[in-house]
Amino acid sequence: MSLNSNLLGQTYEQIQKAVLGGGNVYFQMFGEPMDFSWPLPPTGQMAPQAYQIISTMPLWSPVGSYSMTDVRFADAFRRLLQYVVWNASPEVQQSWKNQQDVVTALSNRVTQDNSDMNTTYQTEKQNGGPVFAARYPDIDTWLAKAPEAQEWINKIDQDTQAWKVAQDQLLDLQKSAMPNELQAMIDAIKVPSGDPASSPAPRGWTKVPDGSGIIRWEPSYTIGATGQDWRASLTSGTQGSFEVKLDASKSSSAITQSWAGANAEYSEVFWSVNVGGSWKSLNISKDDQSVTATISVKSSTFVPVTPGDWYDGGFVKALALNEGGAGYILQSPWTPTGSANAAFGANGLLSSMVSGLVVVYQPSFEITMSESTFNQVQQQISASAGLRIGPFTFGGNGGHTSDYQVSTSGSTSFKGGSTSTDPLIIGITVAFPGVEHP
């Protein structure tokens, strides 16, 4: 856990209660909040920024962040179907095993691609020094802006598509003597054959531009409200307004007692300032237990997210029972839960899914500290392009300062806030396929 785990826990607990009502709600707070500035996509498409969040399989942690390299839930579901077996002839079983080896080899290639891409970025960052680090502070920025990164995006896209084609061939083999329910699942997750640039999306599928701008078929999700509806409802009043009150002198065990328990991980700093387009740690509570802060949110909302018709929760629950009553079971040595070769749960191939987004609008802050701490950080905060307190970001977006205001208030405190018209996604809710709760 981080040095500021108590402040992190206070933030987590208060957001969960304010927006989600507390109780048994499986909340994951973002270590790095995300602006809602998604473009309005053409009819039948989904913005890649939106798809990146809702399609990802969340890490088993109450605090997380999202990257273009994260595992997608639908891809994990497709992989899980590879390990479902049923009564079939020896010839079909052998053909299926041979094709499974092909799929595994292609999957390993995609994994190696991502590893090599990360190594390339880290090497270039090390060789490029401060100039490179300022221009590309993280791998997502590098992938989005560096011309040389496009080759990696193309290679990963191509190898991923080859892997999915091989998966479809494997799924076709499974249709011999297979139970109807399993066949329906395999048919639903099979990539459509039509050209996504010119064909209508089949049931359960949507169109998403990839990193090269090429339109791809992707399994669909339903978002409870469009981004434009969020903006309209959040900006029109104070519905869902709340405050988070932080005190560095108070302890909190909310993180370790959350749904992920001892698996809680948090590597990001809690306090940071934006300088030159990059976020830098400003740990004002490290040696000052008098630090307090209040974050006031003008309005907030919860937006539910559900997978499309390619996913059937009833099928997954039957598979988790693994009793064979439905005509199919997990292939040995795969088991429903456990520490190895598990299908579901904390260590599972299909461990978690996004079930909703927690969105806030125009947060503001007031931070109070000792005089000595104030004197140490005054210039850094006043001159910064943005300030971050846990999952709340004030300014610093793309180096712009128009959405960030800060001023001193008395001799030992700062006030400020966001004037941005973009809502801020500060977390998600998590669901757990195959199991009732973690």
Find all residues with CB under 8 Å of 189, minimum gap 6, and list them. 74, 77, 78, 81, 171, 219, 310
335 phi and psi angles, rounded to 5 deg = -130, 160
Residue 416: inside a domain: yes
Distance between CA atoms of residues 407 and 424, nearest Å:
22
Q: Which residue has the tokens 């402040």?
A: 7
Query: Would the pLDDT of 69 be above 70?
Result: no
Query: Would the pLDDT of 398 be above 50?
Result: no
Q: Pairing between strand 292-307 and 353-368?
A: antiparallel
| 393-427 per-residue burial string, b: 16 or more CB within 10 A, e: under 16 | bbbbbeeeeebbebeeeeebebbbbbebebbbbbb
* SS3 category, 242: strand
Q: What is the pLDDT of residues 188-209, one digit of tens each?
A: 999 998 899 899 999 999 999 9
Residue 119: CB atoms within 10 Å: 10
Tell me, what's the pLDDT at 399? 33
| 145-184 per-residue burial string, b: 16 or more CB within 10 A, e: under 16 | ebeebeebbeebbebbbebbebbbebbebbeeebeebbbe
Residue 144: inside a domain: no
Q: Pairing between strand 353-368 and 424-431?
A: antiparallel
Residue 233: inside a domain: yes
Tell me, what's the pLDDT at 400? 33
Q: Considering the entire predicted model, what is its pTM?
A: 0.78
Tell me, what's the pLDDT at 320? 92
Highest-scoring range by mean pLDDT, 67-71, 151-155, 243-247, 249-253: 243-247
Distance between CA atoms of residues 46 and 39, nearest Å:
9
Query: Among candidates 78, 99, 80, which has minimal Cα distance to 176?
Result: 99
Query: Among candidates 331, 312, 305, which has minimal Cα distance to 223?
Result: 305
* SS3 category, 316: helix
Domain that holds residue 384: 5-86+178-206+218-431
Residue 268's pLDDT band (boundaries 50, 70, 90)? low
Q: Which of 211-215's residues contact partners 24+ apart within 8 Å by CB, and which partners?
A: 211/68, 211/143, 211/150, 211/153, 211/154, 211/157, 212/150, 212/153, 212/154, 212/157, 214/157, 215/45
| 266-282 per-residue burial string, b: 16 or more CB within 10 A, e: under 16 | bebbbbbbbbebbbeeb
Tell me, what's the pLDDT at 402? 41
Query: Would the pLDDT of 303 be above 80?
Result: yes
Q: What is the pLDDT of residues 209-264, one digit of tens each?
A: 987 888 999 999 998 866 677 777 787 777 889 999 999 999 988 888 888 875 65
Residue 339's pLDDT band (boundaries 50, 70, 90)? confident
Find all residues with CB under 8 Å of 350, minimum gap 6, and list them. 57, 73, 76, 77, 80, 316, 343, 344, 433, 434
Residue 9: inside a domain: yes
334 phi and psi angles, rounded to 5 deg = -70, 140
Q: Give the CA distances from residue 2 to residues 6, 255, 268, in Å, rounded to whole numbers and listed in that order.
A: 9, 11, 8
Tell me, what's the pLDDT at 403? 54
**What is the rounded average pLDDT of the residues 416-420?**
84
Tell me, what's the pLDDT at 182? 85
Q: What is the pLDDT of residues 400-411, one digit of tens each?
A: 334 566 677 767
Residue 91: inside a domain: no
First to last CA, the chain: 20
Decide if 18 contacts 300 (C-beta within 8 A).
yes
Of the ranges 69-83, 102-116, 172-186, 347-361, which one carries the lowest mean pLDDT score? 172-186
Distance between CA atoms of residues 126 and 277, nearest Å:
18
Residue 163: inside a domain: no
Tell me, what's the pLDDT at 75? 93
Tell me, what's the pLDDT at 265? 55
Of the ranges 74-88, 251-265, 373-387, 400-414, which one carries the lowest mean pLDDT score? 400-414
Residue 312's pLDDT band (boundaries 50, 70, 90)? very high
Tell me, what's the pLDDT at 430? 95
Of the ranges 88-92, 313-317, 364-368, which one carries the lowest mean pLDDT score? 88-92
Tell me, what's the pLDDT at 216? 93
304 phi and psi angles, rounded to 5 deg = -70, 150
Decide if 238 contacts 34 (C-beta within 8 A).
no
Residue 366's pLDDT band (boundaries 50, 70, 90)? very high
* SS3 category, 253: coil
Residue 1's pLDDT band (boundaries 50, 70, 90)? very low
Asked whether the CA dihedral 275, 279, 280, 284 is positive or negative, the reply is positive
* SS3 category, 311: coil
Residue 14's pLDDT band (boundaries 50, 70, 90)? very high
Residue 17: inside a domain: yes
Query: Among candidates 401, 111, 137, which has minimal Cα distance to 145?
Result: 137
Residue 270: inside a domain: yes
Tell me, what's the pLDDT at 168? 86
Distance between CA atoms of residues 49 and 41, nearest Å:
11
Find all residues with CB under 8 Å of 184, minimum gap 6, and list them. 312
The domain total for the chain is: 1
